[in-house]
Amino acid sequence: MNKCMIIFICIVFIDAVIKKINIFEIFIEGVKSTFSIVISLFTTMLSFMLFVQCLNASGFMQCLEILLKPLCQLLNLPIDIFVLGLLRPLSANASLSYLYNFYQNYGPDHSLSLLATLIQCGSDTTLYVVSLYFSSLKIKNTRYAIPLGLFLDFLAIVFALIIYLKTFA
């Protein structure tokens, strides 16, 4: 991969020399235009990270664990599976840390680790993606994007559970 990058950079430099283009000026202009985009996205990302931290610190996840405990006992699954499914639409890092805990506790080849991997890979960080993309385009009305994205995340979790139950139960 490193060789490909070096070859690509050399081709760009050779092309710029042939066309007599000042690469440094174009690079500086690109950085300036990108910096303005980063500033507009920073507020959205900061507010979203604050929301996730407040959600974790408020004890909301612990309340959800109490509510989901009967379902977990019925399906004979640890509560962490459902916490992973609830965290995934909010934060990739939080859900990855839960996935890592599954790998540490059960091993990567255990059936619960495979279920957690299915949930992690089948769903997306919906709220993060919608907030980032819509704010970058300055769209205030998300219409059906959030409900549809959350519904698809829910379906990914349901299908992962069905696959798990059909395969390992």
Three-state DSSP class for residue 34:
helix
Is 23:12 a contact under the CB 8 Å cutoff? Answer: yes
Is 102:83 a contact under the CB 8 Å cutoff? Answer: no
Residue 93: phi and psi, rounded to 5, are -65, -40
pLDDT in tens, 46-79: 777 787 778 778 888 788 878 888 888 888 888 8
Is 110:81 a contact under the CB 8 Å cutoff? Answer: no
Position 1 scores a pLDDT of: 65
Is 116:156 a contact under the CB 8 Å cutoff? Answer: no
